[in-house]
Structure 1
Amino acid sequence: MNKRKAKWIAIPFIIMLMGIFFINIINRDKEVSISENRTLQQMPTIKDIKQGKFISKFENYFSDQFAFREELSNFYTNVKMALGANKIKSYYVLDNNWILPTPAKIISDKDLKATADQINELSKIGKDTNKQIFYASTPHKESMLSHLYPKYTNGLDNSLNNKNKFKEYINKDIVKFIDVDKYFLNKFSKSEMENLYFKTDHHWNGIGAFEGFKNIIEEMNIVDNVSWDNYTTTLFDKGYFLGSYNKNLNKIVKVDETIPYVHLKDKPKYKYFKYNGKTEKEVNEEDVVATRRNEDEILYGGAYMFGNACSILKIRNENALCNKKIIIFRDSYQAPTSWLYADIFSEVQLVDPRYTETLGMSIDEIMRDSDADIAMFMFDNTDFKMMIDVMKEQRQKN
């Protein structure tokens, strides 16, 4: 190659590199990645130099803040889809706009026993304060829709196997375990199961939540005068439902999903209270339920209830079917059932362990000090260990 040809190649390349360099300098750093649903690394500080973390953090910073990072990721995703790939990042993008996650990994017996021990210890505190204790395992989309995965996908039984082993370590003398997963698999066909979940999100929808709730109430055997025929379904389709999986894939699936709400035909006037462990403050329904329902893009939490509303949220209903109070340690699968519980119990106390740090109370204290008659742990069968680990960490801090 002669010098003249080399210049025609080298000069544009150098200009391109310098252009990208200057764009990276003037670009404002982003705080979060929408597609990855995580916080991005910010510029390292002098403190990082002193702690010997500057180089590693700067490498992560450069990678996270690289110009056009999101755009290039989105382009790569679209190219893979165009070439017929059904596995994008850690998700399967399947027929009829279904998005499913990579199956969960097996959890060791040792870890499952330690996880169950946390529930047993907290349940003992609840029992010692005269509470009935229940654990409701809710059926994650991954394990209920395994028939949608490509053939020969490994690990499709992992979530259920983890849950079943965890169940064996729960102290049955104190805790009644309600296996909603088993109920779903026995009651619904594969096609019926598909109607109970959002296509592009990891949660059940309001209809699936209602079906699970019915099983929970029947297994609790607290009330026997529930008329399920008094419930109706309202379909909300004014905004675009942005499922969590679709959000992480840069909205690759273009499907408009309807958001279903199941509620009593004559909806009671619920009262809502934020409780900080000492005092409570009444709040409006629109401050805690379906807070993002009028936005153009509606996330699952915005459609039903965000976890940060449940540091401790109390819902009261003067016309409930029984005068008992229930405290529920919950994850996001609980969200569409808030009104449903309030129809049954005079007071529902919702506690999301991920948002209790500001209360200045440990999970033990929340359990012990609650005046509820019933305590329930309500976690899905795939992420239950993560939620219980959050409680464990919070307990150790206090």
Structure 2
Amino acid sequence: MKKYDQIYYRALAILLLMFTGAILVVNFLTPSNVFSESENRMLQQLPNFSLQTLRSGKFTSEFETYLSDQFMERDFWIGLKSDADRGMGKKESNGVYIGKDGYLIQKFSPPEKGDLKDRVKAIQAFDKATPGLRKYMMLVPTAAAVLEDKLPPYASGGNERVYWEKIKDSHLGDIRYIDVSPALEANKEQPIYYKTDHHWTTKGAFLAYRELSSPMSFTPKNEEDFKIRQVTSQFYGSLYSKSGVRHIQPDSIELYYPISPGAISVNYVDEQQSADSMYAMENLEKKDKYTVFFNGNHGLIRITTDNTEGRRLLIVKDSYANSLIPFLTPHFSEIDVIDLRYYEGDVRKLTEDRQIHDMLIVYNTSTFFEDPSIKSLADSVE
């Protein structure tokens, strides 16, 4: 019996080695992929060998990453693992909750101690230095706070609400805080957040636009004033890439086209490029289809409309504002849009040089606390 056992285990070992060897051969013979569409990132290429990189450990580390990134049928195995994890009841993957009804929901990360106070101080300093500027602020709750019924059992979006309320209750000087949370809560049965992406949908942005109208003194348009068009039904967003979860339904993206459109000119200042549309339709063929709005994020965008009232608006924002801005264009003659993550200019000087009357700060709660660039508002008043 022992003799047959030895033969069996030797045969099994030989088959395993042959299988492993065959996979390695196939991997090396198959051309390397440069970019992963599903993960939305560059993949590791075969590293260059040298004694220096070998001694430092860089070659070994990069080679291991190369084998992982270029493993044959990588997306298939990732999908198989994610299906197995869900089957075993796993509710979180890489900081993303695997929620109900196909929702992937970003986990909220609380700010470091004292960080909230630093952000508030920066905003207060800017407000004090710009007394003639009408200022408004909208912090948008993420899906974790609004769609708590979609979270897996024992997961909570409550921490976000705590910090969101602290900002709301902070003394922001003359800045008027606009609370969009009740409007989103009242409409949470509608698709106001994407299922595979961390952004709100165009529907969610439209609800926020309606909430802005009264405090910012303009008459909003109704949904009947737009022709709503689905421009893609194959959107796999940032949370799909980050979580590794596969075999779920993609999102659709809708654009609201005014029935009575006005003339628009969009100037991407840093890139020295211009367009007559706020939508980069060619990006619907790419992985990050949310960049259909303004071709993604830029340091400074200047929008000129055919509105003759002469009212000028500055928007300081993250990417949540990208789908909101088109709704605001009928109500302002010019809109300057800056993303502090990429903008290197002096914000206060910009408001003076451009004779801007109104300023709107728009961030989702998670980005507001994670990204330090909002603190740079204080730099322009020192």
Post-superposition shift, 1:49?
5.0
Amino acid at match of 2:117: K
Amino acid at match of 1:283: A
Secondary structure, aligned partner of 1:292: helix
Give the number of aligned pairs. 374
Name the CA shift for 1:29/1:114 in 2 (closer, same or farther; >3 Å): farther
Amino acid at match of 1:341: L
Asked if residue 246 in structure 1 is aligned to residue 240 in structure 2, the reply is yes
Asked if residue 15 in structure 1 is aligned to residue 43 in structure 2, the reply is no
Name the CA shift for 1:112/1:296 in 2 (closer, same or farther; >3 Å): closer
Structure 2 equivalent of residue 212 of structure 1: 208
C-alpha offsets along residues 216-268 of structure 1, whole Å, 9 cap, x if unaligned?
22122x33x44547622413155523233234456734435443333432111
**Within 2, Cα distance between the matches of 1:298 and 1:276?**
22
Post-superposition shift, 1:386?
2.6
Structure 2 equivalent of residue 166 of structure 1: 167
Secondary structure, aligned partner of 1:219: coil
Asked if residue 361 in structure 1 is aligned to residue 355 in structure 2, the reply is no
Structure 2 equivalent of residue 197 of structure 1: 193
Secondary structure, aligned partner of 1:289: coil
Post-superposition shift, 1:55?
1.8
Asked if residue 78 in structure 1 is aligned to residue 70 in structure 2, the reply is no
Asked if residue 317 in structure 1 is aligned to residue 305 in structure 2, the reply is yes
Post-superposition shift, 1:294?
5.2
Superposed counterparts of 1:262-281, under 5 Å: 262-276=256-270
Q: CA RMSD in A?
A: 3.7
C-alpha offsets along residues 363-386 of structure 1, whole Å, 9 cap, x if unaligned?
565556543222221101222123
Identify the structure with bigger relative contact order (alpha carbons < 8 Å, sequence gap 6+): 2
**Within 2, Cα distance between the matches of 1:367 and 1:31?**
43
**Within 1, Cα distance between the matches of 2:166 and 2:51?**
43
Name the CA shift for 1:273/1:190 in 2 (closer, same or farther; >3 Å): closer
**Within 2, Cα distance between the matches of 1:56 and 1:105?**
31
**Within 2, Cα distance between the matches of 1:270 and 1:294?**
21
Name the CA shift for 1:104/1:300 in 2 (closer, same or farther; >3 Å): same
Post-superposition shift, 1:132?
2.0
Superposed counterparts of 1:225-264, under 5 Å: 225-228=219-222, 231-248=225-242, 252-255=246-249, 257-264=251-258
Name the CA shift for 1:84/1:342 in 2 (closer, same or farther; >3 Å): same
**Within 2, Cα distance between the matches of 1:159 and 1:106?**
7
Structure 1 equivalent of residue 361 of structure 2: 377
Asked if residue 147 in structure 1 is aligned to residue 156 in structure 2, the reply is no
C-alpha offsets along residues 76-108 of structure 1, whole Å, 9 cap, x if unaligned?
11223445655455434444322223x313324
Structure 2 equivalent of residue 390 of structure 1: 373
**Within 1, Cα distance between the matches of 2:273 and 2:303?**
12
Asked if residue 116 in structure 1 is aligned to residue 155 in structure 2, the reply is no
**Within 1, Cα distance between the matches of 2:301 and 2:16?**
58
Asked if residue 100 in structure 1 is aligned to residue 102 in structure 2, the reply is no
Asked if residue 341 in structure 1 is aligned to residue 344 in structure 2, the reply is no
Structure 2: gaps (5+ residues): none
Among 125, 138, 154, the alignment partner of 2:140 is: 138
Post-superposition shift, 1:110?
0.8
C-alpha offsets along residues 252-309 of structure 1, whole Å, 9 cap, x if unaligned?
34435443333432111212222239xx654232xx514336538672222x33433x
Contact 2:101/2:150 (<8 A) preserved: no
TM-score, reference length from structure 1: 0.78
Deviates more, 1:244-253 or 1:370-379: 244-253
Name the CA shift for 1:166/1:211 in 2 (closer, same or farther; >3 Å): same
